[in-house]
Structure 1
Amino acid sequence: MELTPAELTPAELTVLGLLVERPQHGYDLEQVIERRGIRQWTDIGFSSIYYLLTKLEQRGLLHVPEAPAATRSRRVFHATDDGRAAAARAALAYIAGARPVPHPVLVGLANLSLLPADGYARALRTRLTQLDARTAAVREAERAQAPLPLAAREVFSYSLGLMEAERQWLAERVRVNGDRQD
């Protein structure tokens, strides 16, 4: 089965990639997703895990070895060779392809003319405080799980890098907008 990287959504690739790392059942996947903070950067709800598993299995990217009297929730999913190949192609495409990422803060910034200067400055300070708390939580999650597989280390590194860049931007904007006399 020939798949292009676009045929795997970020959620599908995330689930498939976790199963390439290690065969597991849906509940195990939920635990890994929660522990690694994967929901911070992808839309995988607990209820969608089994939907994604079924979809990937139907496409021949996963299989479940026959087990006597295994309940549906305890089925251990394994990536197929096609699944491994599709995941590798999609991962390369996602890493190499610089794509615009919709970000709600940009919608707010595009509408600054609707806000008073003090309201904007207050919103920036609030966001900065929330970002600092989130960064601390991500750093703690990273420390608590050490040692991590390379993929998880890179996700944490990239996420923290983005947060630090946003923090620098916010700190500058807070300073500039705190000094404004509009």
Structure 2
Amino acid sequence: MDITNVEFMLLQIICERKEASGYEINQLIKERGYREWVDMGTTSIYVGLKKLSNKQLVNSYLDTTKQGKGPMPKKFEVTNHGVALLKQITLEYLSTSRERDNKFDLALAAIPFLTTNEVVTALQKRNNFLTHVASNINEKFESQGGVRLPLHVQALFRHPLLLIKHEIEFMEVLIKDLLEKNDDRRMDE
């Protein structure tokens, strides 16, 4: 099942909180700076929640404990299917995202829902994936003339190679830190 980055982020937040209203979700998005990784406004939150509900990834109910003026807020909670999909997509994004892909950043925010071993394995897969991508870029660069290419064309090859190099370095440090933690529990326990 395909979900958007907004839906992925919403699933994470609701799963982390166990339940949340649209207002609470919007506040967390502001506090954590999620808009740096996902292009969204307040309306996108409510559209995303409706889509998640239609896909049966979240359930909703009216919070009758609210006191004071205004309507009763609708609270959302993730279904078992939603939790399973969250884990599946997190593993996919951690292991196959290209450099400069916001999906990877969003997946990093979801690692508390996985075991340390799952995260390390996914990061190692991404490391191998990016190494292969870099190799393909290098081959194409050389086959098209390498350093004899115009500077602006060389830059088109060198830019992703440098980004990949730094992504791999970042993942190696993260893997080392995760292994030093040396447990196989879910990351949030």
Instruction: Give TM-score scaled by structure 2 length.
Output: 0.48
Where is the strand percentage greater, Structure 1 or Structure 2? 2
- RCO (CA 8 Å, sep 6+): is it higher in 1 or 2? 1
